Amino acid sequence: MFHPIEIPFGCVMLFNVVDLKEGVTIEDVELVLGEMCNVVKNNYGDDNGGFIGGQVYRNAGFISEEGSVASPDDKVNKRVQQNLGDIVIVTYWQSFEQHEKSHADKLFKEKFSRLAEFCDNTYEVGYEMLWQGVPED
């Protein structure tokens, strides 16, 4: 469950931002989120399904001054921070088409709709890998 993942070059990454409704906590959605992730891992994780691996992150609320062009006090950064959501789900797939097929599946839709009941907004943006690397020994 908490094993490291290897991301092959050429895969796609989907970045799903989850904005919880006012008063809903991460603890309120942990089980639903876990069930949804388990469905993906157990049902779409072969060459046909295309799922490679994934991660779930909680928004810690910090913005890097060193990695940002604008200052943290900048209005743009404040607007960005407000739109970051409470949770992000990062998944890696062999192709965007395989991602879309899995997410159109009845089993996944059932689990995702349960999570969506706790949300004001969710959106998912896809990225194609341009580079990856690890420190040299």
**Residue 54: in which H helix or E strand, if any?**
strand 51-58
Q: What CA–CA distance (Å, rounded) separates 24 from 72? A: 27
Determine the pLDDT at residue 64: 73
φ, ψ at 30 (rounded to 5°): -55, -50
Q: Please, are residues 119 and 19 in contact by the beta-carbon 8 Å criterion?
A: yes
Helix axes 106-116, 26-43, angle to 10 degrees: 170
Q: Check whether 13 has a pLDDT greater than 90.
A: yes
Determine the pLDDT at residue 103: 95
pLDDT tens digits, residue range 27-67?
A: 999 999 999 999 999 999 988 899 999 999 999 887 777 77
- Per domain, the residue ranges of the chain are 15-123
Closest by CA position to 32, among listed 115, 122, 119, 88: 115
pLDDT tens digits, residue range 55-101?
A: 999 998 877 777 777 665 666 555 555 567 899 999 999 999 999 99
**Residue 43: in which H helix or E strand, if any?**
helix 26-43
Determine the pLDDT at residue 77: 59
Note the CATH number of domain 15-123: 3.30.70.100
pLDDT band with cut points at 50, 70 and 90 for residue 1: low
